[in-house]
Every structure is written in C-alpha cells, then in structure tokens.
Structure 1
Amino acid sequence: MIITTKEKLKKAALAAFAQKGYEGATMQEIAEAVGINKASIYNHYKGKEDLFLAVYQDVARKYEKLLKRMIRDSENMEIRDKLLHMFKEYILFYYKDLHISLFWTQCLVFAPPELRENLYVDIVKREEPFEKKMLEILGEGMQQGIIRRDIPTKMLLSYRAMRDGLLLWMRIVPELSGEWIEVFWKDFWLGIQEGKGGGEQQDETRNELKLKGSPDSQPADKGALSLYTATCLICHREFGIPFTDYRYKDIKYNRCAYHVCDDCGKKIQEECQKITGLSPESIDFWERLENRRK
C-alpha cells in the first residue's frame, strides 16, 4: 500500500505534537521528518492549525472506534467483567501507542485555549454514547445489588481516574507492566462492591502485609494496629506506615493494599510533573470536564 505525502505528514506531525506540543512542534521539523521542503506542506495543509486538527481527527476517530468496540465486545458479559474488560482494553490500547496517548494529553491540557475549547466540545460529543452505556452498567449493578448504591456519575469519575492514573504510572514506572492492571482493578472493584470492606477482605489484606504493633501505643480496639510494615511496590524495600499516616487508614479500611515509600513517591511525582507540565495544585482535568458537561 502506497502511503501518500499527506498521510506521511500526519504521521510525522503526530510524533512532533505528542512530544513537543502545539507550540513546541515546528513545520520545519515535520517537513524534514517526511523528507520534503517546508513550503511543500502547504500543498496539503493550510497551516499548522489545519495539520494539528487533521491529526486530531484521526486520533479522535480511533478513540471513538475503541469505545464502540469495547461496548460491543463486552455486551454479553457480567457486570464485573464488562467493567474490567473496558478498563483493561483502554489502558492496553494507549499503553501500546505512546504517541497517541501523549497527543491526547497535549490536546486536552496544553493546546492553545482557542483550540482547546472546540476540542472539549467534540470529545464530549464523541464520548456521550460510551458514558451513557457506562452509567447504565453501573446503574444495573446497583439495581442487582452487585455494586453499592452511590451517584453513578461520581463513581464513573472514580473509574476513569483509576484507569487514567494507572496508565500514566505504567508509562513512567517500568516495573508496572500490563499484569498490574488486574491487581489495581481488584482494589477498585472491592471499593465499589455492595457489602464489601470487612471480614474476609480484611484477613486477605492483612495476610499480604507484615504487621507490627507499636510497643509505646497499644490500640484501643482489638482489631486495630498502630504500625504497618509494607513493601514498596517500586523498590521492594520495607518501610513503616505509622497510624498518623493517611496510608494507615487506606490499609485498615481496605481501600488499598499497595503502596510506595516516600522516596519512590517523590520520584514518581517529579516524573509526572516533568511529563505533564502540571503542578500538584493543578485542577484535575476530568473534574473540569465534568463541570463543563453540567
């Protein structure tokens, strides 16, 4: 199959925009990547914005096809399996194509305001059938007593935050390969299940971690512990989690059984900031997107 110059330009532009953003990528480097003069680009595209939007349309169509395929392929699955299938397929799709994944970040966070507004509107429109289906699945799970009753839109935001957060971690932490998807999914699923969070799951969580009681401060209730010693997910070293640390409650109440030490956590935060350009105080994108829908 012969690839046209126009298609070659879009492929080169995708890589440039993904790595450097709209402002950082230049028409000159895109032309050089294809092996043509800069002036020749204008035989195919009106300018940088026109080329950027052409790349966006291709990426958005792939995204839309992915959403439709996930819905179709999971149609006859059980509630839990539907949610897991779409969680896993989404992550693997973007994990395997770094340029498309990074391009989305550039579009949604760093594109010029005059472009970003139109992109938001287009993305929301493309996502409407998928979001509607997801809310139906969550609602059905609540009706059947499988999923605890809550606000479906809030639960969907939690689902997306876990999914997109894990995808980001997998890109910057080599140890987090695809096999970890179901590990993190298990934590999310246990959090939304009806009637879960104690008994059997507490025993399972405690068996996964080494537990130590503080000799200076005995817990008031029989089931409480003053100090946990956990193994860091990244460096695999043991580290203590005192009862004053937020992670202590996460483990005690079975919200999460996997943690990183302070040193690795700092490195991950620095890498996230380096890749996204966002500060820790930046407003979460999905929260802004949800407010825009209201």
Structure 2
Amino acid sequence: MTKAKLMHAAFHNFGKHGYNGGSLAQIADEIGIKKQSIYTYFKSKDDLYLAIFEEALQFELAFMKSYMTNNVQQPIEQKLLPLLQQVELRMEQYVETKFFIRTLYLTPQHLEQTLNKQAYYYLDYLEQLFKDYFSTQHIKVSAQDAAISFLALLDSLYVEMLYGGNERFLKRLQASWKIFYKGITN
C-alpha cells in the first residue's frame, strides 16, 4: 500500500460523505488494509483530512494559474465563460476538485480555523489572477471590482453544483454570465 493510494481513497470517501460521514474504516476497506495501517502515514482522521485538503488546494491552484496565465490577451467571453463551464466538469472528473469544493462550503467545525486560512489564501490568489487578467481587458469597471465580482459568480456556481445539480447549475450560469458580462463591458 502506498500513501498515494490511501490519499486517493480518502478523496473519494470524504468527497462523497464529508468529514463527519467519512470513515477511516471505509477508506481502509476500499484499499484492502486494516484501519490501523492508516496510522503508519497519518496520526489521525484530522491529519489525513488536512493533508488531502492541502493536496487538493495545490491541485486547484495549479489549474487556475495555468488556465489564467495561458493566452492572457484572449477576450473575456472566450476566456472566462469556458472557465466557468469547466468548473462543473472538474467537479465530475476529479476527486480532488469535488473534495476541495465540498470542504470549502461544508467545513468541519473543529478544523474551521485551519481550513479557512487556506481557503482565504486560495480566494486571494484567484482574486489576484483575475485582477491581473482584467487589467489587460477593455472594461468599464476597475480590474479589482471585476475580479471580485467574477469571484462572486464563481462562488455561486460552486454552491449550485453542491446543492442544485446540473440543470440548476446551467440555468444559473447562463443568467449570471449574461448580466456579469454586460455589466463590465457595456
């Protein structure tokens, strides 16, 4: 058994069941080990949860940085609308993304302070990426305001993915994108 295999199983389990519903015994069963073997790599359930959150955070940051730094001059509708559309696909395709988004909005209370620091780091990083991008575009609002507004749009879509499903996500995306885009460009 490898640590990577254990972490991958933890992503699946916690991504599906959350912290409280997730179980070290279920994770161990999934990879065919005894629960006690997990303690070879992690001191506790909290330790494992925090480790996979850090990995998921880095996974999401790497994606956003790569996406936003490629083709910087690309027009807003060709750059940011596809990004928002990818959000849902990433949630379906990557256990790291599903776990990360779930944890951002359903944070275990006893880990809230630690996880919130990392979440704010993520949000601040995204705000700067979006601000840098918007500063290259011809828009009628400040790059800072556009970045914050875009983050609010992204945030609402994350929530819809968690609670509303595909149809509601698409409905929210279509309506909010139209208003966001017109608001910063006309």
TM over 0.5: yes
State the identity as a percent.
22
Partner residue, 2:83 = 86
User: Structure 2 unaligned runs (5+)?
Assistant: none
Partner residue, 1:100 = 96
Q: Is the 8 A contact 1:139 1:152 kept in 2?
A: no
Is 1:36 matched up with 2:29? no
More strand by share: 1
Partner residue, 1:11 = 8
Following the alignment from structure 2 to structure 1, what is the Cα–Cα distance between the partners of residues 156 and 169?
16
AA at the equivalent of 1:121: K
Q: Is the 8 A contact 2:11 2:99 kept in 1?
A: yes
Following the alignment from structure 1 to structure 2, what is the Cα–Cα distance between the partners of residues 167 and 112?
19
Is 1:172 matched up with 2:171? no
Following the alignment from structure 1 to structure 2, what is the Cα–Cα distance between the partners of residues 28 and 50?
15
- Aligned pair count reads 185
Is 1:159 matched up with 2:153? yes
Following the alignment from structure 1 to structure 2, what is the Cα–Cα distance between the partners of residues 158 and 107?
18
Aligned pair in 2 of structure 1 residues 140, 121: CA closer, same or farther (>3 Å)?
A: same
- The TM-score, its normalising length taken from structure 1, stands at 0.53
What pairs up with 1:224-243 in 2 under 5 angstroms?
A: none
What pairs up with 1:125-204 in 2 under 5 angstroms?
A: 125-138=121-134, 141=137, 144=138, 146-147=139-140, 151-152=145-146, 155-165=149-159, 167-168=161-162, 172-173=165-166, 183-184=174-175, 187-195=178-186
User: Cα deviation per residue 1:243-266 (whole Å; 9 max; x = unaligned)?
Assistant: xxxxxxxxxxxxxxxxxxxxxxxx
- The TM-score, its normalising length taken from structure 2, stands at 0.78
Following the alignment from structure 2 to structure 1, what is the Cα–Cα distance between the partners of residues 23 and 5?
15
Q: Report SS of the residue matched to 1:42.
A: helix
Partner residue, 1:21 = 18
Aligned pair in 2 of structure 1 residues 52, 186: CA closer, same or farther (>3 Å)?
A: closer
Root-mean-square deviation (CA), in Å? 3.1
Deviation at 1:77, TM superposition (A): 0.9
Deviation at 1:32, TM superposition (A): 0.8
Deviation at 1:36, TM superposition (A): 0.9
More helix by share: 2
Is 1:114 matched up with 2:110? yes
Is 1:71 matched up with 2:68? yes
User: Cα deviation per residue 1:221-260 (whole Å; 9 max; x = unaligned)?
Assistant: xxxxxxxxxxxxxxxxxxxxxxxxxxxxxxxxxxxxxxxx
Following the alignment from structure 1 to structure 2, what is the Cα–Cα distance between the partners of residues 91 and 67?
14
Q: Report SS of the residue matched to 1:160.
A: helix
Q: Report SS of the residue matched to 2:64.
A: helix
Following the alignment from structure 1 to structure 2, what is the Cα–Cα distance between the partners of residues 147 and 103?
36
User: Cα deviation per residue 1:174-223 (whole Å; 9 max; x = unaligned)?
Assistant: x5798x8984575234542444xxxxxxxxxxxxxxxxxxxxxxxxxxxx
